[in-house]
Each structure stands twice: as structure tokens, then as C-alpha cells.
Amino acid sequence: MFSRREFLAGTGVVLLTGLLGGCKSGGAVVTTTKTVTESGELSGTISIGGSTTVQPVSETLSNAFMEIFPQTTVTITGGGSSVGVKSAADGTLDIGAASRELKESEESLGLELHVLAYDGIAVVTNAS
């Protein structure tokens, strides 16, 4: 069996690879800092931002990714789903996090949606 750390690290690598591999520029020029050191080690920076609902998951996965690839830096910011979508579309962020479907107006931005998880929302009210 895998330890929790190995599981999270492996999951992080798979998800980040899938997210980065599926990014499309939509005709825009997108520059990502990514290099391979002389030892063959992956290095560079990845920027993720957007939904604060997704942020804890992004932090956990990025920490596991950076443990496997210590020469990489993953920066994570919040700001909301719309910020994540807009920033990924304009190249400000490598990965935009959204806790909702793309709006109709965002579907033409040349982005590719990768579902990471589904969350439940509960409405809680006071009995009085």
C-alpha cells in the first residue's frame, strides 16, 4: 500500500501534469517558466490562482509536487473563480482555479476545463 504522503504526491503530479498538459493558448502567446537542470530535474515556477474553495486542494497538491520536484516553485493565490478564469485566459496565471462551470461568455476564451473534484453546498438556517 502507499503511504498518505506517496498517495498525495502521486496524485499531485498526475493532476498538475494533466492540468498543464491540457492548457491551450487560444492563439495567445503564453510563457511558462520551465527548465530541466543538468541532472534532469524539473525546475521552474507554476502559478495557480482563483477560487478560494479550490485553494486548499491546490496547496496540498502543490506541496506534494514541490516535494517530488524540489527545484520547482508553485505559487497559489485566491481571488475567486472569475479571477482564476480571466487570469488563465490572459496568461497571468498558468492554472486558473474555478469552483463553478465556465460561463457562456468564458467558453470562447480558449480554455480547457479539467474537473478536479465536486463539492457540496449546504444552506443552513436558524429555526427561528
Q: Does residue 32 or residue 61 have the better pLDDT?
A: 61
How many structural domains are present in the chain?
Answer: 1
Question: Is the Cβ–Cβ distance between 32 and 92 less than 8 Å?
Answer: no
As a whole number, mean pLDDT of residues 56-83 equals: 95
Residue 118, domain member (yes or no): no
As a whole number, mean pLDDT of residues 93-107 equals: 94
Q: How many residues appear in the chain?
A: 128
2-6, 61-65, 72-76, 117-121: lowest mean pLDDT where? Answer: 2-6
Residue 89, domain member (yes or no): yes
Instruction: Give buried/exposed letters for 99-117 (b at 16+ CB in 10 A, else e).
Output: beeeeeebeebebeeeebe
Residue 67, domain member (yes or no): yes
pLDDT of res. 31: 45
Give tens-digit pLDDT for 16-56: 555 544 444 343 334 455 565 666 688 899 999 999 999 99
pLDDT of res. 42: 86
Residue 47, domain member (yes or no): yes
Q: How far apart are CA 42 and CA 53, in angstroms?
A: 28
Domain range for 26 is 4-109
Residue 40, domain member (yes or no): yes
pLDDT above 90 (res 117) = no
